[in-house]
Amino acid sequence: MTTTPLAPASEEALAEIIRDHAARRAPLVIRGGGTRPVGPPLDGEVLTTTALSGVTLYEPGALTLVAAAGTPLAEIEALLTEHGQRLAFEPMDHRPLLGTAGTPTIGGVVAANVSGPRRIEAGACRDTLLGARFVNGKGEILKSGGRVMKNVTGYDLARLMAGARGTLGVLTEVSFKVLPAPETEATLVARGHDAHRAVALLSKALGSPWRVGGAGYLPADLAGGTSETRIRIEGREDSVRARGEKLVRHLGGDWEMVRAEESAALWRELREVLPFVGHDGAVWRISLKPTDGPVLLDLLGQDGLAHHAFLDWGGGLVWLVTPDTGDAGAAIIRGHLAALGGHATLVRASENTRRTVPVFHPEPPRLAALARGLRHRFDPAGILNPGLMDPAPAPLTEHA
Amino acid sequence: MELPAPDPSILARRDAILARLRQAVGAEGLITDPVETRAYECDALSAYRCPPMAVVLPKSTEEVARIMRICHEEGVPVTPRGSGTSLAGGALPTADSIILGTSRLNRVLEVDYDNRFIRVEAGRTNLSVTQEVESDGFFYAPDPSSQLACAIAGNIAMNSGGAHCLKYGVTVNNLLGVKMVMADGEIVEIGGPWADLPGYDWLALVTGSEGQLGIVTEAVLRILPRPEGARPILLAFPSNEIAGACVADIIRAGILPVAIEFMDRPVLEAVERFVGAGYPECEALLIVEVEGSEEEIDTELARIRAIAETHDPIEIREARDEADAARIWAGRKSAFGAMGQINDYICLDGTIPVSRLPDVLKGIGDLARKYDLGVGNVFHAGDGNMHPLILYDANDPEEFARAEAMGAEVLRLCVEAGGCLTGEHGVGVEKRELMPAQFSRADLEAQMDVKDVFDPNWILNPAKVFPLTLSAPRRERRRPGAAAGADSPPAPPGQAA
């Protein structure tokens, strides 16, 4: 049924489309660049924000950037680079992992709250989000937050939109706190440790005053035969060198210091989940207490769940690939998380698996009821990505 | 400032309600004596006062749940209170409400350095959280100036900031999880010592919701390793404009100081008289602090000095050691006290884009002349969080009314400049009626929809944040004894029931 996506060129036109669809109870599939189709398959007419494009305000001296939701991420990153600044949360590009084409947009980054390895130091996408404009499911144009660093005026609906994946409203404009980009970076690499030892070292580094901006671990099977424990340091040249030396003394053992471009490639590998590109299977993204990262991997091994895995965020982010059969390991993984704490998202799997396994981690009943309550208030006709954020598998649409 | 008239049906049932509460928390957890409840009739915005019906001081999450179940069943409004340091009237009760204070919920439950978090009961004071971990080289970053007294529960309710936000963020950036009691008494847990939430960002909604969505009883807070060192540099300028331009240039150069504090001439004169800070004669003074190793600090301060020198400074004073640093900070830290020596003051906290500092400062000066009131500015320049202090005589009702009117105009000026009404104090009752200056009717209705979902009967801190006439239809829906439970509308099509 889908032909050309609806691509309104103004906030008002977008609101009009939503009002029209709400009146007909006709579902919409909300999209930025369409590069991150995480979630169950959705039915409905595609609505993209790509025609709402452009940086509307950039004040390097105030560390502030405001952009229309459909602005290509690459355009924003290029502009920031020109002024020696960046989006500190280091958003992942999902295209290699998901095999998607298209142009990632800043609105898509916010809607999915996409953050990379630097999240452990700089916070998530939502942490640097200062404000947002969006259209709810009733076609009302709303705003929350603004363009200033500190703002406690009213409820934080802007951050509520981050990670809500278009189910409460369609983002039209977002504003960010940006940060200075460092002069250079380096990575300390230690080889041959097991996951427990690696996370102990990463914890020790993250608990030191030397500002670690990346802490990951690739086991032997994904690192060409010898495991790698990686620690990233960023800043001015002399500071990076000095902190690197202090960290090596603090941690003990053998560490190689990898510099500049070569260092950046190590983090691109973790950020874009390159070890799992071209690797068949279901891909899970699991957030948990950092020291529980290796514990979970042990438990999965004891259960006999075939998998490969690597760690980011000092052990607190597990990227896991499992066979894409049955529930792709959902019951086992989520069973352990019920005891350990944390949550697992099924980022990549066949359509069939995504129809039957809840892609997003089920919430306790009261929180799930609050989520339904919010959706009912923000999208009473149930037209914004219906079924995407429900813990139950998406029902087939009955109102096309 | 108006409070809704107390509900006579609640006042009529006072004794029965208090008996139920006494049964739930014991006699030592309930204060009903009018002399004692007096201590709870206001918070740090002491111009507004109203004694509550009673004060309940639970000592466990389960007791909080019991209290909330009773209030839900009886339809009694609940005014949550941390330490009562709100400058916006966030903890101001109504006569038909009970105060639910967190002061006896103050235990440390877990400290985990490997995973860099601390779990505490929410009544614990902000500073005591840092004190718990500082001997091991860690700290909790948000540091509001009331940190000696203010509670984590209040910090979460108001999304408190502090002097070091530019680098470390505010409460919402440092809160990993909460245990919370819903308006009907159900206990929920949100988040934990890991990153992000699986669904909607409940933590972001709760943080800064001014106690209107639930009672937070426990918090998981991110702790950070303390930097090797920190030292300030003092920069004195002949005008606010030049100081403002210097702030922008420092940031544009890629330096991220941990704090940039700004004081204007009226404040500088006051601190000179009060503590003899020994600051240079100037129109505007910046204190810029950087962190790191000795070498890093030297390098960064040299870069800041070089930038400042392009702005014709009157004087630059770099701290060489801790004693120097303490001298530079002494005046800033006494600024509020110094202004208080001159007169009573209203402390505003509108936030503006940093680029608008000079013209907003000028606008505030113009308003002070128009209203014939003294005003001083001391604020966090790095993040644009203004703190104009409007001086008035508390014994002169006419002057107080003038100060309030001027405050409202200053905040409108902040909004017009692209900023907001409040950066870290919250809306409370103080800025409630000004919300339409920043938000449309639809914006505010959407926020009130969120409250409906969490607290359908509007018993949690009901007369705050939203203009009274706007919230009235929702507040008045409340019926004593009407147990409405969760928001349970008919399931919209396409959703699993």
Dump pLDDT digits (tens) for B224-258.
999 999 999 999 999 998 998 999 899 989 999 99
**Residue A187 exposure: Cα atoms within 13 Å on the Cβ side:** 25
Nearest chain B CA: its distance from A220 CA (Å)? 24
Search chain B and give the residue with CA nearest A86. B254
Per-residue pLDDT band for B47 (boundaries 50, 70, 90) equals: confident
Q: Do A359 and A346 meet the contact criterion of CB atoms below 8 Å apart?
A: yes
Give the integer Cα–Cα distance in Å for B7 and A381. 36
Kindly tell me if the per-residue pLDDT of B490 is higher than 50.
no
Give the integer Cα–Cα distance in Å for A117 and A120. 7
**Residue A390 exposure: Cα atoms within 13 Å on the Cβ side:** 25
Give the closest of A147, A360, A380 to B492, CB-based.
Answer: A380
Q: A123: which residues sit within 8 A by CB, 6+ positions away?
A: A88, A89, A115, B169, B173
C-alpha dihedral, A377 to A382 to A385 to A389, nearest 10°: 60
Give the integer Cα–Cα distance in Å for A172 and A141. 9
Averaged pLDDT score across all residues of chain A = 95
Q: Report percent pLDDT > 90 for chain A.
A: 96
Q: Which helix (H) or strand (E) holds B345?
A: strand B344-347
Residues of B in contact with A110 (CB under 8 A): none
Residues of B in contact with A200 (CB under 8 A): 114
- pLDDT value at position B2? 87
Q: B490: which residues sit within 8 A by CB, 6+ positions away?
A: none
Q: What is the phi/psi pair of residue A390, to 5°?
A: -75, 140
- pLDDT value at position B166? 87
Q: Do B314 and B282 meet the contact criterion of CB atoms below 8 Å apart?
A: yes
The two tokens of residue A85 are 């600044």
Per-residue pLDDT band for B358 (boundaries 50, 70, 90) equals: confident
Give the integer Cα–Cα distance in Å for A286 and A343. 6
Kindly tell me if the per-residue pLDDT of A107 is higher than 70.
yes
Kindly tell me if the per-residue pLDDT of B496 is higher than 70.
no
Kindly tell me if the per-residue pLDDT of A1 is higher than 90.
no
Q: Any idea what DSSP says for residue B218?
A: E
**Residue A195 exposure: Cα atoms within 13 Å on the Cβ side:** 25
B57-76: average pLDDT:
98
CA B102, distance to chain mean position in Å, is 16
- pLDDT value at position B139? 98
Kindly tell me if the per-residue pLDDT of A399 is higher than 70.
no
Residues of A in contact with B487 (CB under 8 A): 369-370, 373, 376-377
How many contacts, defined by CB atoms under 8 Å, are there between A and B?
Answer: 299
Residue B288 forms beta bridges with which residues? B233, B260
Of A7-11, A174-178, A197-201, B380-384, the least confident: B380-384
- Tell whether the torsion through CA atoms of A320, A326, A327 and A329 is positive or negative: negative
Kindly tell me if the per-residue pLDDT of B274 is higher than 80.
yes
- pLDDT value at position B478? 64
Give the integer Cα–Cα distance in Å for A192 and A7. 51
What b/e sequence results for A75-102 when a residue is b if at least 16 CB atoms lie within 10 Å of its CB, and e otherwise? bbeebbeebebbbbbbbbbbbebbeeeb
Q: How far is CA A114 from CA A230, B134, B176, in A?
A: 21, 33, 17
Give the integer Cα–Cα distance in Å for A236 and A358. 45
Which of B382, B35, B29, B60 has its CA nearest to residue B215?
B60
Q: Any idea what DSSP says for residue B20?
A: H
CB contact under 8 A, B295 and A381: no
Each residue's pLDDT tens digit, B152-186: 999 999 999 988 888 999 999 999 999 999 999 99
Give the integer Cα–Cα distance in Å for A373 and B208. 20
Q: Do A389 and A167 meet the contact criterion of CB atoms below 8 Å apart?
A: yes
Residues of B in contact with A367 (CB under 8 A): 188, 190, 199, 202
ipTM of the complex: 0.96
Instruction: Identify the residue with better confidence: B342 or A109.
Output: A109
Search chain B and give the residue with CA nearest A160. B201
A153-163: average pLDDT:
98
Per-residue pLDDT band for B419 (boundaries 50, 70, 90) equals: very high
Could you tell me how many residues make up chain B?
497
Give the integer Cα–Cα distance in Å for A13 and B182. 39
- pLDDT value at position A391? 60
Q: Do A360 and A345 meet the contact criterion of CB atoms below 8 Å apart?
A: yes
CB contact under 8 A, A180 and B159: no
Nearest chain B CA: its distance from A15 CA (Å)? 13
Each residue's pLDDT tens digit, A74-103: 999 999 999 999 999 999 999 999 999 999
Q: Do B383 and A152 meet the contact criterion of CB atoms below 8 Å apart?
A: no
Which of B429, B438, B463 has its CA nearest to residue B448?
B463
CB contact under 8 A, A150 and B423: yes
The two tokens of residue B379 are 């604020």
Q: A304: which residues sit within 8 A by CB, 6+ positions away?
A: none
Nearest chain A CA: its distance from B382 CA (Å)? 8
Per-residue pLDDT band for B7 (boundaries 50, 70, 90) equals: very high
Which of A84, A47, A69, A118 has its CA nearest to residue A267?
A118
Q: Do A287 and B196 meet the contact criterion of CB atoms below 8 Å apart?
A: yes
- pLDDT value at position B479? 54
Give the integer Cα–Cα distance in Å for B119 and B112. 9
Kindly tell me if the per-residue pLDDT of A51 is higher than 60.
yes
CB contact under 8 A, B435 and A153: yes
CB contact under 8 A, B201 and A113: yes
CB contact under 8 A, A288 and B440: no
Kindly tell me if the per-residue pLDDT of A199 is higher than 60.
yes
Give the integer Cα–Cα distance in Å for B124 and B104. 8
Which of B106, B25, B111, B30 has its CA nearest to residue B69?
B25
- pLDDT value at position B497? 32
Tell me whether strands B175-181 and A85-86 are parallel, antiparallel or unpaired: unpaired
Residues of A in contact with B198 (CB under 8 A): 343, 345, 360-363
The two tokens of residue A210 are 């030397």
Q: Do A245 and B263 meet the contact criterion of CB atoms below 8 Å apart?
A: no
How many CB atoms within 10 Å of residue B479? 11
- pLDDT value at position B164? 87
- pLDDT value at position B223? 98
Disruptive mutation site among A138, A151, A177, A346 for chain B (greatest number of B CBs within 10 Å)? A151
Residue A86 forms beta bridges with which residues? A179
Kindly tell me if the per-residue pLDDT of A400 is higher than 90.
no
Q: Any idea what DSSP says for residue B82?
A: S
Q: Largest Cα–Cα distance of chain B, in whole Å?
A: 71
Give the integer Cα–Cα distance in Å for B192 and A341. 7
Give the integer Cα–Cα distance in Å for B29 and B52. 15
- pLDDT value at position B163? 82
Angle at B100 between CA B86 and CA B17, to 5 degrees: 140
Residue B66 forms beta bridges with which residues? none
Q: What is the CA radius of gyration of chain A?
A: 21
The pTM (predicted TM-score) of the whole model is 0.95
Of A235-244, B112-121, B379-388, the least confident: B379-388
Q: Do A188 and A255 meet the contact criterion of CB atoms below 8 Å apart?
A: yes
Kindly tell me if the per-residue pLDDT of B487 is higher than 50.
no
A363-371: average pLDDT:
96
Secondary structure string (H, E, C) spanning chain A: CCCCCECCCCHHHHHHHHHHHHHHCCCEEEECCCCCCCCCCCCCEEEECCCCCCEEEEEHHHCEEEEECCCEHHHHHHHHHHCCEECCCCCCCCHHHHCCCCCCEHHHHHHCCCCCCCHHHHCCHHHHEEEEEEECCCCCEEEEECCCCCCCCCCCHHHHHCCCCCCCCEEEEEEEECEECCCEEEEEEEECCCHHHHHHHHHHHHCCCCCEEEEEEECHHHCCCCCEEEEEEEECHHHHHHHHHHHHHHHCCCCEEEEHHHHHHHHHHHHCCHHHCCCCCEEEEEECCCCHHHHHHHHHHHCCCCCEEEEEHHHCEEEEEECCCCCCCHHHHHHHHHHHCCEEEEEECCHHHHHHCCCCCCCCHHHHHHHHHHHHHHCCCCCECCCCCCCCCCCCCCCC
Averaged pLDDT score across all residues of chain B = 93
Nearest chain A CA: its distance from B303 CA (Å)? 12
Give the closest of B226, B353, B452 to A148, CB-based.
Answer: B353
